[in-house]
Each structure stands twice: as structure tokens, then as C-alpha cells.
Chains A and B, each alone.
Chain A
């Protein structure tokens, strides 16, 4: 065995070498490109970060299908879907800016930590120039912050919290989906018309950013119509058995139960509420009613019979009859054999919007893309006339109020659209108290 016998001279020499070695990295070209992960070699990589496990796994699976469809359309495959009905004609079906679109996927597990780690490895290892996806606002906010730091664009997937484009908004983040405030503004008038103005509401709320802001919004909107909020109970996101939360509702004197739950949570809490016989009860001389502010077809399907006649709101529904929706349902249905969910719709739109913004800006540089998206007005993507507001990077469009169908004709035909609430009714000022407290900051290109 050779032993190391350090002498003073040896140490000094070693130190000098080590110092020189540490200084060398500055000789390497560190910032050869103007921005993070500039595409090279004729291909561009997008990162699809969706929940594949956990309470929102159904939504995540559908998002992934829509992403694959969008990539196929961008690369010129398939029937082109909504690219044909999109009001902007910058996309030519030859990828983005002539680069072939490739993608990597990751599992957010609906946990902020895991989602950030997964997004980080997509940016650092796989060279993704844009990250998109997610089905939880906690995750969306965490990943949006990461993308701002890393200097890539974040196109939010299904995230409905006011905070995503409110106090946690970021210059590199964009949201097509609607939010809690819009749901409440659309839903409250319908609820007041259907159930009267002297109702007492009991709220069960998922204990994270989405639940908090959704509850705040719906409570404010219904109280403005004369309702009273009896109590708000926060439930952990990982809860699967809601019976202990539902039981106290009966003795609270409330005659409305508002379930600020989504995905698997909502399926379980609604099922528990129905099993406890809440819907057959009479309280204060009125029929007991249940309201689910944010609805999706996947949830309605999961909850089965229990959703009949229950009101909620949604971003998009496959039964819409405009050209964009029909084209999207057709190409999604041809590829997968069933209609897309609202999660699938929003992420498909986001991918197209990103690609289109790149084409119009002539670059993948996040700052250029951001500029092209800010204030962008478009139509033909299934929601009528839509605008990406420059102040907070939130899309403004019509909101659908839906109801669980009484007589479904198929397993997909579970929701019916009650009202299309026009955009003006759900719009708010960028400095509305529920959205104040954050700032976009400057765009970061890495």
C-alpha cells in the first residue's frame, strides 16, 4: 500500500493545482445560448408533468393523451384537430419553427416536492424548453415558481386556484383554465335562482391553495345573494374516507352542502354524503342540496348515479357544438375511442397556444413567447372569444354552468350544460382583493 506523506511544499503545490482546476470552468462556454435549453438539431423538447399516481391520476392520464394528440397534430400527423379551427394560422404542421416536437413525461404525484424534482430533471437532463401540465394548484404554483427561476415557459394545466394567476403569478407562467372566482361568479346566480336566496351553506374544503380560494370565492358570491355560510371544514387532500366529515353536517342546521373538492376527493365525499342520505333530507322546510363548484366529466363518471341533478361549473364540455370543440372531440375520439375531459381540452389548447406563440414570436425564447402570449386574442379553441390578459396571464372566456344529467344516454353523457355564462359576468380587475398581493416580475430567459 502506498502511503501519502504530505509535505508543506507538496501541499502548496497541490493547492495551486486545485485552485487552477477550480478556476478552469470559467473558461468553458457557459452561456453559449441566449436562453435556457435553446433547441438544437432540428428538434424541440416539451416537458409534460402530470399526476400519474394519487387522487388526480385520472385527470393526469387524460392530460397525457391530449398532449400526445397535440404533438401529433403539431408535427403534421392525424387530422390536425383544433389547428384547423384556431383563429391564428401561424402553425403549419411542421413542428414548431420547423423543429420536430418531441416530449418527455414525468409524474407529479400531486406533491409539490415531487413535481418540482420531476420538472427540474426534465429541464436539466432532457433539455425541455417548456413545462406544462399538472392537475393541482399547489403543484402548479410550485412548478410555476421553478420555471420562473430556471428560465423556461410554464403553461399551466388544470389549476383552478385564484392564486395561480393571483398572488403567486409569475412572468413565465400562463393559465388557460378558469379559476375559483369565475366559477363562483357564474354559479351563484344559477344557485340563487334554483334554490332560493335564504339558504344556509356548509362547506367541506380541500386543505390547500385551491380549496381555500375556491371556498372564499363561492362563499363571497353566494353571501352576496343572501346565503349564510354556517361552517367551513378543511379536509386533507389525501383523505379517502369522508364519513367523519359528512356526519356533522346533519346537525349543523345547514340545508346546502358545498363540496370544494376535486377528482378522487370529490368522488369519495359526494358518495359519502349520498350514502348518509343527505339528498333525501328536509331541513328548514327545504330540500337538502349538494353543490360541487368545480365539475369534470371524469369525476361525474367516477361518482356515477350520485351526481344526478347536482350543479357545478366547468371550463369546457365535449358536448359543445362549436367547430373547435367538434373537431377536437372527433380527433380525440378517433384516436382513443372516447370523448376528452376538460383537463384534456385545456392542456391541448395550452400546447397549441405555446406553439403558436413561438411561431408568431419567431423564437423559443421565453421572453419572446411571453410577449406574444400577453394580450393575445383568439377563438376557435372551443371557448368562443378568449383573451390572455397581459396583467396576470389569465385567460378570460365564457364559463359553463353544468348539472349532473338525470337520464344519461351513455357513460360519457353524464353532464348537461345549463347555462353559458358570458365572459363579462365573470371578469374582475387585476387588483381584485382575492388576487392582490403578488407581482408578475420580469420574464426570465435563464
Chain B
């Protein structure tokens, strides 16, 4: 189906089911119980997981296939966001023009940065992209203030032009009248599930993005990109020029990042310069490696894991911990709370760091390798390819 073999079709269908069932999967606990703290099925987090999933899928096309490690992808995310918000201001609150311009602008931007950065490989390439990201951040933060509104961030206002919108068009981002923030709640006993329009828009686009990346992985073009990773010199000696392939991969992954940025702005119409900071570019690297670089599903899992940790663990503050450990004697309670407070709340980065170290040391192939090992343990032969299991080559 759709140009895929049977195994990939099945894989794609599983991914579609998982994505569409996210509101259930991320909301496993009943409301009002102590474990409800760990529910993540609210619109903002689900949207973020889908959007950063797209970001990581795109990043993986460059890093997973060609091995070029870019620290500058946050710049494309930011360019996408700014383009989308400008479309909301000038043309229409319908998200379609915004997303299209986001992809075009980030593609052009990626072409420029890629053309220059790809003159070098390895660490020099990484440093060049890092430098470009930092430049873009500073441009957005202070130099280009008239376009980006600096630190305050670019926002939509009721007084904006919006050429295509009629008098009765919604004031918030929408898809032909469906506002992104609309949610339907379904109460099932003590459980409560939220179905959000914005999330399903992101989810459908994420599935399309995933399908495209699956096709790229399986195509002769994908094979060329793998050749670049395994031995670029040998590729040159056989008479093939790797440059156009790497540049194409760079632009494609840049456009994925732009798409993610455009979607971020569509879910919440504000574009801030922090989005372009290199730490965001570093975050997508961590997501990809945590999930499993070079695998198809890994980056999405990595994105989900990090966004979940960020949003749920950072909410567990000391008063929540006190309510958990109130059964302990006073002195002991304070000690235990102090210890846990280092790893939750503001300290969630510490938890992430430990998790990341554990994965890199014990599971070089990321969470996907972990999954494959578990499956192998239960007697099923782990498929050693990108569809369900880890690659043989660890992340670099």
C-alpha cells in the first residue's frame, strides 16, 4: 500500500493507531487519584509531543542517515515560527498559508546555511551550524527587532491587517473555521479524555511527515545518504558527488524543522527568540539519540519522553512531594523530600541527564534498542532494522 512493502505498511498502520490514540495513552490514570499527577493527556503537551516528533523525524533524516550532526536546527524552527505568525498578521488566521510559508522560508534559509556549512564535515560542520544558530538568535533578539519584536516576541493583535479574513473570521488560528484550541472532553467513569482539534491537526501532519521519512529511508536517495555516512571518500572515488545529496538532506530536514516551527506558532500564535537558541537545537539532538538515531520511530519516542519529563517532572514541586511522603516521620520526610526535590521541579534536567547517560552507556541504540532487547528476551527474534528495532550501528 502507498508504495510500501507489507512489513512497512503494517509498521505505518501501527504508528497511525498509536498517534491517534495518544489522548488515551497519555491519560492512563483516573482523575482525583494521586497518580493523576502523571497524566499527560492535555492538549498543550500532546501538541508539543507531536510537533517535536516532527522536528526530530526531520533531524534524523540528516543526522541518522548522513551522520552530519547539526546544532543549528533551532534556527529553522524559529524561522518557521516567525513566518507563520507574519502570515497570521498579514493574510489569514487560517493556518495553511502560515505553514506553507514557514516551510518555504526555512527551506531557503537551510539552503543558504547548508551551502556554506557543508563545505566542511565532522566537528567543523557542527561548529559552523552552531555559529549560524547563535547568529540567527542574536539577529532575532536585537538586530531584527522590527520584524521579530525582540525579547517580547511576535504576537498577533486584533488590529492586524489579515487581508483574506472576512469580518466574522475567528480571531485565533484555525483550519477553515475549526479553532486549534477547541477541545472535546469525554468523561468515562473517573477518567477524562481530551480530544483537541490542534492536536489532531498536528497528529495528521506528523503521520504524513513520518510516511515521507519512511519513503526517504527506503529510497535510492536514502541509500546514497547512508553511503555518505559509512564512507564519504569511497563514495567520491566511485565517481559520485556527495555534496548534492547532503545538501538535499539538510534542506529537507530544515523544512521539517520549519514545519514544526510553523505548527508551534499555529497552536500558540507567538514567536519568541528563545526558540532559536542553540539549546533548543541541542534538545533535538538529545531527543534523537535518546530514542535511537537512524531508526524511524526512535526520534519520535525520544521527543515524547523529553517533553513528558519536562512538563510532568518540572511540575512536581516540594509541596507535592511533601503530600506524597507525609506518612514518614518528620525528620526523615524532610530528608527524602529534599533528595527527590533535586530531581524534580526545577531539577528535572538532572533526571534527564541521568536518563541520557544511562541510555548512551547501556543502550547505545537508544530506547529502540531497549525495545528490541526486551522483545528478544521474550523469545521473539528482534528485527534488526529501523522498523521496530535498533540498527546494528550505534549512535555516533
| Chain A residues at the B interface, C-beta cutoff of 8 Å | 3-6, 25-26, 28-30, 32, 52-53, 104-107, 111-114, 116-117, 120-121, 124-125, 137-138, 141-142, 145-146, 149-150, 163, 168, 207-209, 234, 236-237, 437-439, 441
Contact = CB atoms under 8 A, between A and B. Distances in A.
B282 to A, nearest CB: 16
A124 B39 CA distance: 12
A107 B314 contact: yes
Interface string B1-38: 10000100110010000000000000000000000000
A236 B274 CA distance: 13
A163 B150 CA distance: 14
21 contacts: A4-B13, A28-B195, A29-B185, A30-B184, A112-B153, A112-B272, A113-B275, A117-B44, A120-B268, A121-B311, A124-B194, A125-B39, A141-B155, A142-B152, A145-B155, A145-B156, A207-B142, A207-B151, A234-B142, A237-B151, A439-B158
Nearest to B156: A145
Interface of B: 1, 6, 9-10, 13, 39, 42-45, 48, 141-142, 150-153, 155-159, 171-172, 181-186, 194-195, 268, 270, 272, 274-275, 311, 314-315, 317, 346
Given A52-B346, A117-B311, A149-B181, 5 more contacts: A5-B6, A28-B185, A145-B156, A168-B155, A437-B159
Contacts of B142: 207, 234, 236
Contacts of B172: 149
Nearest to A2: B10
A3 B171 CA distance: 47
Nearest to A207: B142
Contacts of A28: 184-186, 195
A94 B324 CA distance: 26
B146 to A, nearest CB: 12
A26 B184 contact: yes
Contact of B268 (A26, A116, A141): A116
A138 B42 contact: no
Nearest to A171: B158
Nearest to A167: B157
Nearest to A138: B152
Given A28-B185, A120-B44, A142 B155 contact: yes
A209 B181 contact: no
A3 B1 CA distance: 12
Contacts of A112: 151-153, 270, 272, 274
A30 B179 CA distance: 14
A408 B303 CA distance: 53
A113, A116, A117, A142 interface centre (most CB from chain B within 10 Å): A113
Given A28-B185, A112-B272, A124-B43, A4 B150 contact: no
B141 A4 contact: no
A106 B310 CA distance: 12
A25 B274 contact: no
A160 to B, nearest CB: 14
Contacts of B141: 207, 236
Contact of A4 (B10, B151, B158): B10
A116 B275 CA distance: 13
B10 A3 contact: yes
B268 A146 contact: yes
B6 A4 contact: yes
B152 A209 contact: yes
B41 to A, nearest CB: 9
Nearest to A117: B44
Nearest to A209: B152
A440 B44 CA distance: 26
B186 A25 contact: yes
A28 B1 CA distance: 34
Nearest to A26: B184
A58 B336 CA distance: 26
The 3 A-B residue pairs with the shortest CB-CB distance, nearest first, are A208-B151, A25-B184, A124-B42
A57 to B, nearest CB: 10
Contact of B317 (A6, A105, A125, A149): A105
A4 B346 contact: no
A145 B156 CA distance: 9
